[in-house]
Each structure stands twice: as C-alpha cells, then as structure tokens.
C-alpha cells in the first residue's frame, strides 16, 4: 500500500485508512516523543487560507519526525506576481523540498497538480472539497473513545454545503462501517447526488437523539454569497447545539467539532468545555494523525513502519 500524495480520503482504500489510524494511535500514545524518522528531510507548508490548528499541528508533526520545516507566506511570495502554484512547487523541488502541505480555496487543486510534480502533496483543506487529515484525526478520536468506528452513528450538523470536513467524512465513515446522518438548514445542505449510499439526511431532533457522536460545524460565512440566516442567535436557536438539545443526546454520546468553533452560534459555550466534549482531544490528535500521514508518504509507505522503527532505535 503506497501512495505518492494525500489528495483526499476518496482515493484511499479502507485498509489504508485503518493502517493510518493504527499508526496515528501509536503516535497519540507517545505525546511529545521526538523521532528521527524524517531527519534532514525538507517539508514546505503552503497555506493560501487562514489556519491555526492544521498549520501548527502539521509543523509540530514535522518537527517531531525530525524534518526541516519551511513556512510559506502566500502574501509575500511570488504567487502575488502571477507565478502559478505549479511553478512554485517546481521551484521548491529544485531546492530539495520533498513534500508540500497545501491549503487552498480551490476545489480539486491537488488532484490537478499531482500528475505534474515529483514532491509529495498533502491536502490541508481544498475549498469545500476535502480535508483528509482533519477527517483522520476525527476518526482517531472516535476510535480512541469508543474502541471502534464500525457500528457507530455519527451526526454531522450545520453548514454541510461549505464544509470540506464533511467532504472527507462522506467517504471515510461508510468505508469504515459507520452510519452517517447529516442535519442542518436546507440552504446549507449538500446536494443529494453527492451523498454516497448509506449516508442519510435526518431532521435535527433525530440526529441529536440517535447519534453516538454529535459533530457540530461552523457556519462558514466567508463562503456564503448571501446571508442565509438573520443573526447568530437566530441560528443558535434554530440549528445550534443548545443546552436543551444536548440533554436529548443518548447516554454516552459525545460532542465533537473540527474547529474553529464559534461559541454561542453552532454550539453553546458550556458544551465546548463540558465532560461530553472531545473537541480539545481532537486538536491533540491532529499532531498524531499528521505524523502518520507524513511518515506514510515520505518513509516508504504502510508496511515499512516496523523496520523504520528498528533503525531509529525504538
Ligand atoms: N479544523 C481546521 O482546519 O482548523 P484550522 O482552520 O484552524 O486549521
């Protein structure tokens, strides 16, 4: 099982996903541990959209693996002078950069670049298409908490149309045997034809009452062409996870959110910090999931992990 790029979850087989999760679990059990598995290798992070969690957790993951990290500031790069991203990547390749982690507003950009570059591409979120490493860290969090993903019911609620996280989960959760329910305002729903078999649109009440995981999504105002609701409070009352709605959740059900979260809009502020919330665990797992992905792409692929561990003395 060897892939050159991580452009999306859609392209990964279930077995590959499971192997990545196993490796991410390995790293999650070793917080802060330093390794030399990518010692001396050079990785560039190219973020053309804002980010806190993804950008910094990739950088932490890269440093934990011993890589040299280059951070590209789009606004002070030659892309502002008209150089294309493909040509930018070719320049980086000539300097010895072996992998590029890219966040972009353009759906499918990495798939388009993949055929034309030698370095490894890692999708750190492309438009409303996919956010594969966020999906992996979410899956890791679910697996850690429940012991398995198969058989769990995940409800993803909110601005589904603009969410690249959902774009990845639509492929991942059915592949791994989980049930996925989608709920939210009709104007923010994914088109029916995009939904794979086994993914169902539910009403908000059913989604909250029946899910093992209630995953709330931010309203992505920056991607809305027009106002889709009258105020943050109106949205909270109509579609947010209020304290009253949270009381309807099943015993043992948990709350997740890929972030960034807007307290008091899609989720009540107290629920972010409640005992049922795995939101901060998700952030911690981002480092482990991204270590697994970088190792997979840059260090020989799944199946080579045992031997690489021997060489660095674990
Ligand atoms: N979840 C996520 O992608 O967060 P950032 O935009 O902060 O990276």
What average pLDDT score do residues 205-209 get? 98
Q: Which atom of ligand 1 is least distant from the CA of 55?
A: 8
Minimal-distance CA residue to ligand 1 atom 5: 51
The two structure tokens encoding residue 99: 């992998």
Q: What would the pLDDT profile of 36-73 be if each residue is shown by its tens digit?
A: 999 999 999 999 999 999 999 999 999 999 999 999 98
pTM for the predicted model, two decimal places: 0.94
Minimal-distance CA residue to ligand 1 atom 6: 51
For residues 185 and 228, the answer to whether their CB atoms sit within 8 Å is: yes
Q: What is the pLDDT of residue 307?
A: 46
Percent of all residues in the chain with a pLDDT value above 70, rounded to a whole number: 96
At residue 305 the predicted structure's pLDDT band, cuts being 50, 70 and 90, is low
Domains in the chain: ranges and CATH: 14-131+286-311 (3.40.50.1370), 132-282 (3.40.50.1370)
Backbone torsion region of residue 242, taken as left when φ is above 0, otherwise alpha when ψ lies between -120 and 50, otherwise beta: beta
- 1 or 96, higher pLDDT: 96
For residue 80, how far is the Cα from the chain centroid? 27
124 alpha carbon – ligand 1 mean position (Å) = 9
**Cβ < 6 A, ligand 1 pocket:** 51-55, 125, 134, 258-260
- 139 or 312, higher pLDDT: 139
Minimal-distance CA residue to ligand 1 atom 4: 53
Which of 46, 49, 53 gets mutated to test ligand 1 (max ligand atoms within 8 A of its CB)? Answer: 53
For residues 38 and 65, the answer to whether their CB atoms sit within 8 Å is: yes
């Amino acid at each position: 099982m060897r892939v050159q790029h991580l452009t999306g979850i859609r392209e990964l087989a279930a077995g590959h996903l499971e192997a990545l999760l196993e490796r991410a679990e390995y790293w999650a059990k070793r917080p802060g541990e330093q390794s030399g598995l990518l010692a001396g290798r050079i990785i560039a992070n190219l973020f053309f959209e804002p980010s806190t969690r993804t950008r910094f957790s990739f950088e932490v993951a890269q440093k934990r693996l011993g890589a040299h990290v280059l951070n590209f500031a789009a606004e002070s790069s030659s892309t502002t002078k008209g150089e294309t991203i493909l040509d930018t990547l070719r320049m980086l390749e000539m300097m010895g950069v072996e992998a590029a982690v890219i966040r972009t507003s353009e759906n499918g950009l990495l798939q388009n670049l993949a055929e034309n570059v030698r370095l490894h591409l890692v999708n750190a979120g492309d438009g409303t298409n996919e956010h594969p490493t966020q999906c992996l860290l979410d899956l890791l969090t679910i697996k850690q908490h429940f012991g398995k993903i198969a058989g769990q019911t995940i409800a993803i609620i909110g601005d589904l149309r603009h969410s690249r996280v959902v774009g990845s989960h639509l492929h991942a959760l059915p592949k791994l045997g989980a049930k996925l329910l989608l709920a939210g305002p009709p104007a923010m729903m994914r088109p029916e034809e995009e939904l794979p078999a086994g993914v169902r649109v539910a009403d908000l009440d059913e989604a909250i009452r029946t899910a093992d995981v209630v995953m709330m999504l931010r309203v992505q105002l920056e991607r809305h062409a027009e106002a889709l609701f009258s105020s943050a409070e109106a949205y909270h009352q109509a579609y947010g996870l209020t304290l009253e709605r949270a009381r309807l959740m099943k015993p043992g059900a948990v709350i997740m959110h890929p972030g960034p979260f807007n307290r008091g809009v899609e989720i009540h502020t107290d629920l972010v910090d409640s005992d049922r919330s795995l939101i901060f665990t998700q952030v911690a797992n981002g480092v482990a999931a991204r270590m697994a992905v970088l190792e997979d792409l840059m260090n020989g692929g799944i199946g080579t992990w045992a031997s690489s561990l021997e060489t660095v003395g674990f």
